[in-house]
Structure 1
């Protein structure tokens, strides 16, 4: 078997791995990517005149270092800037997101129920689960009308099994005062009230990250088989790679299994996640919903939880959608049946009608898609990460660090590790 050596070996060519490689492009690095294309889930499909990503990726860069990097690579005229417009389809009505700050847009009886339960909710210092937190902070009606059914569809699991802080800073919390203020003034609590998006899809950011990395330092179509942390050697399906430092971005459970499946089994067996089936759909004409960027669907009559409108973001004429369906990891999905239900749901919601013709589509399964954060496992996870770092292994990003975070957070993780290793 072919043998190579490097100082920094990077597993995974998503945004985390590419950012680390970019920070160290002048050094002795190698990046191993199992797919034939870089980007991980930030890949873009160009098909029949439609532009689709693997799922909805919207960019909200707030870090100056990240902003400066992309401003130097991507011209402003290749991006669109939007003030976010997001809706919820509920009981044949369309209301603004988030649900809890827009209950005044509901039918009168539902509004009264939500306001009453919100006022008389029973808050606690500590909550036993994500669902317990929802009831405690928002009351029965808001929880059961939207928060519970929507998140059950998203996470594809019993919400009692999710940690109360499963979404961290990304959950749109609001207290009674904020909710009542929103009756007359638009809610301002979102972390991403505006966003930017590349006219040619999310891959524009990936291309910017990869632009200055020599092709000789990237190994494509190469799968990691095992990791020997004592010998500091990664075995792929093509070669052995000896390293000084290993930067991992593949899912944490897969990394640990590739090192020693038995010794970490007690930890990895407790990790949970869901997968997401994404349909990208292109139609012959626009929809009457010509301003919304993405929308949420809590009701069980829809098999999807979210729909995004690429054409409204990119100002294209033909309706171009991504539709997301949450699934448990072990579930098998009949994609044709799921697509039929999607089209039925889109018609029921009024997004398409009998004159819309499906001109092009593709499906993607993201597995894992959302990792399920568990604070009880967090201490053990940090212990494992510390042990790995003691032998030169650093694991970063949403999946490598097994956390709920943004694309920018993942890149900042990589920069942080790069700085830590700068003088080693």
Structure 2
């Protein structure tokens, strides 16, 4: 079997690349996917009448082309929502983001947050931040000691499982809201209902969970262009041949990887020693997602809640049935609970499950009389790329070598970055245009990459 372009992985990045190669014309392509269904982590599982995604997968649309493509793919099966996200700390729900919404917290906490924030504005003896500051130093300078102590530090330590002094700020520019001083003050004195951040609004399928998006992309491809249940076993970059289970050898001229970069580097060869050394510096976290179906409606009007405090083992809880009523049978509700661990840490799931359920009862998301109608774990092995100080140099060295070999590595996992579904689809479009020799939109400059994203209505 031979193809012009072999695409590893049938998630959104791989499917988008194949779709846009077809649009460009001139090159054949083949997508190989290890699972029986397309979608990867942008997929869904049905159990007992519930539809569960791999944690919350919501469509944040910021690009006109991306928006039109998604709306066209899911025509008639997409609902728009204004985000209802909250933070639970000190036994109080406050609005997201924390830095603009401390109203309702104990007065000493509010005073601590305001005092620290306004010191960042009026203090004259600050030393300039380094050109590449740690996230810890940046947070103290941007938000002050109080906001950092009560939310930024504990929440991000829970999520990233890495000392914040060892993390860069390269991931946060587009994702962490930075309210003005007047907004911080107003949000301490009153219930501020202004929306902040790239995810202030979102779209989500009315039926079928997020699985309907990769399914719709796959339906636009040619018959036989996707091979599921075909994990790639090895890739010989010198001979331009891959071996996939059930397919045997597949020859290719160009290769597009959308698998986690660490996995691709482990199954492909040959690589120079510098690439192997760079691969050893790549870090990631595993997320254990516990999905629950409950025998009553719950969390009215809340889409998801952040939990910064150590007494809760999870960092976020979301409500699938508040994204779409069809995600749960009538009169019930469904949740995802996210727990982060370093890649090498083994989780004792029965023990962790008991701690999670106890925490959910403590914060009153679950009540003592609730019956769990569905319950199962969805581990996401490579969930978050860790932006430590070794990442950027390592990734640049790897991508430089891959470019010389005619290999594209794209998407959230292939590109080894923190991103979202629309960006992943656009990564596939740009990759297809490069392969087809067409002009492509200008890449983000470093300054643009730090600009806060604004959702399209």
- 1:173 maps onto 2:178 in alignment: yes
Q: Deviations over 1:226-274 (max 9, x none)?
A: 2222222222344111111111101112222322467222101111110
Aligned pairs for 1:35-74 within 5 A = 35-74=35-74
Q: Are the structure 2 counterparts of residues 270 and 379 from structure 1 closer, same or farther at C-alpha, using a change threshold of 3 Å?
A: closer
Secondary structure of 1:153's counterpart equals helix
1:8 is aligned to 5
Task: Name the TM-score, length of structure 2 as normaliser.
Answer: 0.87
Secondary structure of 1:326's counterpart equals strand
Aligned pairs for 1:186-197 within 5 A = 186-197=193-204
Secondary structure of 2:243's counterpart equals strand
Secondary structure of 1:59's counterpart equals coil
Q: Are the structure 2 counterparts of residues 61 and 71 from structure 1 closer, same or farther at C-alpha, using a change threshold of 3 Å?
A: same
1:101 is aligned to 100
- 1:277 maps onto 2:281 in alignment: no
2:135 is aligned to 130
2:29 is aligned to 29
1:209 is aligned to 217
Q: Deviations over 1:35-77 (max 9, x none)?
A: 121101011111111111011101012222222223323223x
Compute the displacement of 1:81 (Å).
1.6
Q: Is 2:238–2:270's contact at 8 Å kept on the other side of the alignment?
A: no
- 1-side partners of 2:265 and 2:44: how far apart? 30
Compute the displacement of 1:375 (Å).
5.7
Number of equivalenced pairs: 419
- 1-side partners of 2:171 and 2:384: how far apart? 10
Task: Name the TM-score, length of structure 1 as normaliser.
Answer: 0.93
1:344 is aligned to 358
- 1:389 maps onto 2:403 in alignment: yes
Q: Is 2:21–2:433's contact at 8 Å kept on the other side of the alignment?
A: no
Q: Is 2:288–2:338's contact at 8 Å kept on the other side of the alignment?
A: yes
Unpaired runs of 5+ residues, structure 2, are 121-125, 439-457
- 2-side partners of 1:260 and 1:148: how far apart? 41
Over aligned residue pairs, what C-alpha RMSD do you find?
1.9
Q: Is 2:320–2:334's contact at 8 Å kept on the other side of the alignment?
A: yes
Q: Is 1:123–1:136's contact at 8 Å kept on the other side of the alignment?
A: no
Compute the displacement of 1:282 (Å).
0.3
Q: Are the structure 2 counterparts of residues 44 and 162 from structure 1 closer, same or farther at C-alpha, using a change threshold of 3 Å?
A: same
Q: Is 1:166–1:372's contact at 8 Å kept on the other side of the alignment?
A: no
